Amino acid sequence: MNYSINDNGEVVCMSANKTPKVRWETLTLAQVNAEYLNKTYPKKDTTLVVYRCDQCDYYHLTTKYKDI
């Protein structure tokens, strides 16, 4: 299970290390944050991209390998 239900009955998505994932309500907010993180903390082989979660209907970030 990669999510839990909080006291308010909301779905909280969990990362692989069992910490709550950051979530954004709009695609624009998630894209702005992904762009900021990619510029502030650049990685050689990966980039952060936005996806809409099927479990909670919010937006999260995930790592994508760059095409070489």
Evaluate whether residue 8 is within a structural domain.
no
Number of other residues whose CB lies within 10 A of the CB of residue 21: 18
Decide if 2 is inside a domain: no
For residue 1, pLDDT over 80 is answered with no
Number of domains within the chain:
1
Task: Name the DSSP class of 39.
Answer: H
Average pLDDT, the chain: 92
Name the DSSP class of 43. -
Q: Residue 59 sits in which domain range?
A: 22-68
Q: How confident is the model at residue 8 (pLDDT cuts 50, 70, 90)?
A: confident
Per residue in 23-49, pLDDT (tens digit) is: 999 999 999 999 999 999 999 999 999
Q: Position 4: which residue type?
A: S
Q: Is the pLDDT of residue 5 over 80?
A: yes
What does the DSSP 8-state code read for residue 47? E
Determine, yes or no, domain membership for 1: no
| 16 falls within a domain | no
CA gap 67, 10 in Å, rounded = 36
Give the global pTM: 0.85
In a domain, 15, yes or no: no
